[in-house]
Chains A and B, each alone.
Chain A
Amino acid sequence: MSSDTARSEVTRPRVELRWWAGCPSTDRALSELREALNDLGMADIEVEMREIRSDAEAGEASFHGSPTVLIDGVDCVDASDEPTGLCCRVYRRRDGRIGPTPDPEDLRAALRLAAQRLERVG
Chain B
Amino acid sequence: MAAVGEPAPSFTLPDTEGTTWSPGDGSNATVVVFTCNHCPYALAWHDRLADAARDYAERGVRFLAINSNDADRYPRDSYQAMQRRVAGEDWPMPYLHDFTQEVARAYGARTTPDVFVLDAAGTLRYRGAPDSDYDDPSQRAAWLREALDAVLAGEAPRRAETEPVGCSIKWKR
What residues make up the interface of A, taking CB atoms closer than 8 Å to B?
A: 22-25, 55, 83, 85, 87-91, 97-100
Contacts and interface: CB of A to CB of B under 8 A. Distances in A.
A91 B40 CA distance: 7
A90 to B, nearest CB: 4
Q: How large is the interface on B (under 10, 10 to 19, 20 to 34, 35 or more residues)?
A: 10 to 19
22 contacts: A22-B167, A22-B168, A23-B167, A24-B167, A25-B40, A83-B75, A83-B76, A87-B74, A87-B167, A87-B170, A88-B41, A89-B40, A91-B40, A97-B44, A97-B137, A98-B43, A98-B44, A99-B40, A99-B44, A99-B134, A99-B135, A100-B44
B29 interface: no
A87 B38 CA distance: 8
Given A22-B167, A24-B165, A88-B167, A100 B41 contact: yes
B150 interface: no
B39 interface: yes
B159 interface: no
B40 A100 contact: yes
A86 B147 CA distance: 34
Contacts of B137: 97
A101 B160 CA distance: 29
Contacts of B135: 97, 99
Given A23-B167, A87-B74, A90-B39, 7 more contacts: A25-B40, A55-B73, A83-B75, A87-B167, A88-B167, A90-B43, A99-B40
Contacts, number: 43
**Which secondary structure dominates where chain A touches chain B?**
loop
Given A83-B75, A85-B74, A87-B74, A98 B168 contact: no
A87 B39 CA distance: 8
B142 to A, nearest CB: 18
Closest 6 CB pairs of A and B: A100-B40, A88-B167, A90-B40, A98-B43, A22-B168, A98-B44
Given A22-B167, A22-B168, A88 B75 contact: no
A101 B14 CA distance: 33
